[in-house]
Chains A and B, each alone.
Chain A
C-alpha cells in the first residue's frame, strides 16, 4: 500500500531537474565546503543531493564512462579494526592508519583522465573549478 511507511532504504530519491550529469555544483557542508565540482551520477542512496547548490553551467560528459562499481558501498567510510591487545603486547600494537588503496587511485585517475579534457575545452572553467565559493 503506497501510504504505508517504507524504511529509508526503500525511499524514492528524487533528483532536482536542474541536476544532470555534467552540471557544476557547489558543495555546502563538510570538509569540502565551497568547492565547485562536476556532477557525475546519482547514487542509489541519494547522498548529498540536498546539500549542494546547482550552477547553470554544464559540461558535456555523455561520452565519459564512469566505473560501474562507483556505488554507495564503494564510498562508505571504512571502519578500521581496533588492535586487539594480546599478552605482553599492550603498548606495542600499532593503530591501523587509513591508507588509500591502489584500486581507488586507479579509479580516480581513470575518471580524471576522461573529465579533464572536457573541462579544458570550456574557457576559464578550470580556474573556476579551482576557486572556492563564499558569501563575501
Chain B
C-alpha cells in the first residue's frame, strides 16, 4: 500500500492571453477534479514539482539527497474544463509540460 498524501496533477502549460504566453502562472489539471466544487476545494493548496538532479543538496529533516522541489500555490480556477492556475516560486521549466506535479492536501480547511 502506497503512502501517497498528495493528489496527482499534470502541468498542462503556461497561462496564455490571446497571443502570448505568460510563464509566471501555470495551468494544472488535477486528477479526480471534474466539477467546479472540486477546484474550490483545491484553492490555496500547495503544489510541488519534484525532480532529481545529479548533485546532492541539503534536505530539511533528512540527509542531503538528489531530490529537489519547486513549491507553488493554487491561486484560482481556470475555465469550465476545470483546470487550475498555480503560481510557483520559480517559474516551471517548459520541459515539464505534460509531467507530474503533486498537489498537497494542506493548507486544509476541513
Q: How many residues of B contact A (CB 8 A)?
A: 15
B110 to chain A, nearest CB (A): 6
Tell me, rounded to whole Å, the shortest Cβ–Cβ distance linking B27 to chain A.
Answer: 22
Residues of A within 8 A of B3 (CB): 33-34, 132, 134
Given A34-B5, A135-B5, A18 and B110 contact (CB-CB distance below 8 Å): yes
CB distance from B72 to the nearest CB of A (A): 15
Q: Are A50 and B107 in contact (CB under 8 A)?
A: yes
Residues of chain A within 8 A (CB-CB) of B5 are 28, 33-34, 133-135
Residues of A within 8 A of B109 (CB): 16, 50
B2 within 8 A of A: yes
B4 at the binding interface (Cβ < 8 Å): yes
Residue B97 is within 8 A (CB to CB) of chain A in the complex? no
Interface assignment of B108: CB less than 8 Å from any CB of chain A:
yes
Closest chain B residue, CB of each to CB of A135: B4
The interface residues of chain A lying within 8 Å CB-to-CB of B69 are none
Q: How far is the CA of A132 from the CA of B61 in the complex (A)?
A: 20
Q: How far is the CA of A51 from the CA of B108 in the complex (A)?
A: 6
Residues of A within 8 A of B104 (CB): 28-29
Instruction: Report the bound CA distance from A16 to B109 in whole Å.
Output: 8
Partner of A135, one of B6, B61, B106: B6
Residues of B contacting A28 in the complex (Cβ-Cβ under 8 angstroms)? 5, 104-106, 108
Tell me whether A69 is interfacial, beta carbon within 8 Å.
no
The verdict on B75 contacting chain A, using a C-beta distance below 8 Å, is no
- A54 to B110, alpha carbons, bound, how many Å? 6
Let me know if A51 and B107 touch, CB within 8 A. Answer: yes
Bound-state CA distance A16–B5 (Å) is: 22
**A residues less than 8 Å from B106 (CB atoms):** 28-29, 50-52
- By a beta-carbon cutoff of 8 Å, the part of chain B in contact with chain A is 1-7, 61, 104-110
A residues in contact (CB < 8 Å) with B: 16, 18, 28-31, 33-34, 50-54, 132-136
Selected A-B contacts with CB under 8 Å, 12 pairs:
A16-B109, A28-B104, A29-B106, A30-B61, A50-B109, A51-B106, A51-B107, A53-B105, A53-B108, A54-B110, A134-B1, A136-B4
In the complex, besides A31-B61, A133-B5, A135-B4, 7 extra interface pairs with C-beta distance below 8 angstroms are A16-B110, A28-B104, A28-B106, A50-B109, A134-B3, A135-B2, A135-B5
